[in-house]
Amino acid sequence: METDQTSLFPISAASLSDSKKRQVGKYVSSIWSFPDSEETPLYRWYGTLPKPLVRRVIELYSPETVLDPFVGLGTTLDVAADLGIQALGLDTNPLGCLASEARLSGISSKERLSKELTRISSKLRGSLTQQASSGSRELDEFYAEEKYRYSRKWFRKDSLSALLSLFSEIADVEVEGIQRLLFVAAAQTVRDVALVDPRCTHHLVTKLKPYIDPVPLFVQAANSATRAVRDLPADPGRVRVDQGSLLDGTSVSGRYDFILIHPPYLGMIHYHLIHRLATDLLDFTQGSTMPSSLQQYAFDYEIHPRPCTNRGKNLRAWRQMRRHNRGSAIQRPSSPSRN
């Protein structure tokens, strides 16, 4: 087919059959609407594209290889996997990459996932009733690193303690795909529990909130995420996501015949700030226990360019606290506090 490289849609009308013309006519209209595209949310990310839109654009060009350098929650990669197209997605945000991975690889056993959810929620719920209050000092000590100062101020101590306990339980999950999805679900609860307005995309607006138990929110988010991931896992040899940026000049090698670009809305959505509280918790968890599903991501990617040097200290303190609090992981001080 002859293509006109300067037009948005490289299709010469004369070369099309009547039915294709009708189809293309619909596609190239300036307003596209996808009324049935409401999708179950994998994660509350901003500015994601509807999957049918991405599919329509890609099908219009029928490429063999696709690059999406701002992949977000991996919509392009999901479509590429459906169509059997080779694709690479990049994103600087590690949480976006983690969620994309979860979306692409799906869940190997829903039964196992539901067992893990039951185990984690009953263990943490049980500990809540014990009203233990001794954990905060240890927590302060090892979450007191300078690099977590920003996120620390947005949590009540009891909420932070509860979240760390939740993340730590997830780190013990052995099946990597399930662990990954559960981390995504736990990350989803962070802004609901923290002292911020979870809907705010620009500033973290302080809210005087009571203690909020993250566990029911986590279970809900995990069930919703389970419905949002692929039924059939994508072939990792053909479709993959890397943490990186087109701008650094090293993240992409090879040739792509279609590049789908949906860049961040500069100055309007601060992805790293919106997700900072969650990425700091994931960073801490990774530094403490190295769960398999987090190993490949740099969570302090933008905020702390220098490598962290005191992982060992964290690890010892984390283990000490876990031994100390085994069976009573979530700490609730008797009076509300903010740090």
Ligand X SMILES: C[S@@+](CC[C@H](N)C(=O)[O-])C[C@H]1O[C@@H](n2cnc3c(N)ncnc32)[C@H](O)[C@@H]1O
Rule CB under 6 A: which residues touch ligand X? Answer: 47-49, 69-70, 72-73, 75, 90-93, 96, 245-247, 262-264, 271
3-state DSSP call for residue 241?
Answer: strand
DSSP assignment of 129-175 equals HTT---HHHHHHHHT-SGGGHHHHTTS-HHHHHHHHHHHHHHHT--S
The residues that bridge with 240 in the sheet, in sequence order, are: 88
CB of 49 or CB of 124, closer to ligand X: 49
CB of 114 or CB of 201, closer to ligand X: 201
CB of 92 or CB of 288, closer to ligand X: 92
CB of 70 or CB of 318, closer to ligand X: 70
* Cβ burial 33-69 (10 Å sphere, 16+ → b, else e): eeeeeeeeebbbbeebbbbbbbbbbbebeebebbbbb
Smallest gap, in angstroms, from Cβ of residue 75 to ligand X?
Answer: 3
Smallest gap, in angstroms, from Cβ of residue 80 to ligand X?
Answer: 12
CB of 91 or CB of 158, closer to ligand X: 91
Q: Name the closest residue to ligand X (Cβ).
A: 72
CB of 53 or CB of 219, closer to ligand X: 53
Q: Give residue 165's identity as a one-letter amino acid code.
A: S
Say how many C-beta atoms besides its own lie within 10 A of residue 304's C-beta: 16
Smallest gap, in angstroms, from Cβ of residue 97 to ligand X?
Answer: 9
Smallest gap, in angstroms, from Cβ of residue 284 to ligand X?
Answer: 20
CB of 209 or CB of 262, closer to ligand X: 262
Smallest gap, in angstroms, from Cβ of residue 207 to ligand X?
Answer: 25
Smallest gap, in angstroms, from Cβ of residue 152 to ligand X?
Answer: 23
CA distances (Å), 172 to each of 95, 97, 239, 300, in order?
19, 21, 28, 22
Smallest gap, in angstroms, from Cβ of residue 167 to ligand X?
Answer: 21
CB of 47 or CB of 52, closer to ligand X: 47
Contacts 24+ apart (CB under 8 A), 291-298: 291/170, 291/171, 291/173, 291/179, 291/183, 292/176, 292/179, 293/98, 293/101, 293/176, 293/177, 293/179, 293/180, 293/183, 294/98, 294/183, 296/243, 297/94, 297/97, 297/98, 297/243, 298/94, 298/243
Whole-angstrom Cα distance, residue 159 to residue 156? 5
CB of 91 or CB of 138, closer to ligand X: 91
Task: Give me 59's structure tokens.
Answer: 């099908």
Smallest gap, in angstroms, from Cβ of residue 281 to ligand X?
Answer: 18
CA distances (Å), 165 to each of 76, 119, 184, in order?
34, 13, 15
Phi, psi of 55 (to 5 degrees): -65, -45
Smallest gap, in angstroms, from Cβ of residue 326 to ligand X?
Answer: 37
Task: Give me 221's structure tokens.
Answer: 């988010």
Torsion angle of the four alpha carbons 85, 96, 237, 77, in this order, in degrees rounded to the nearest 10? -10
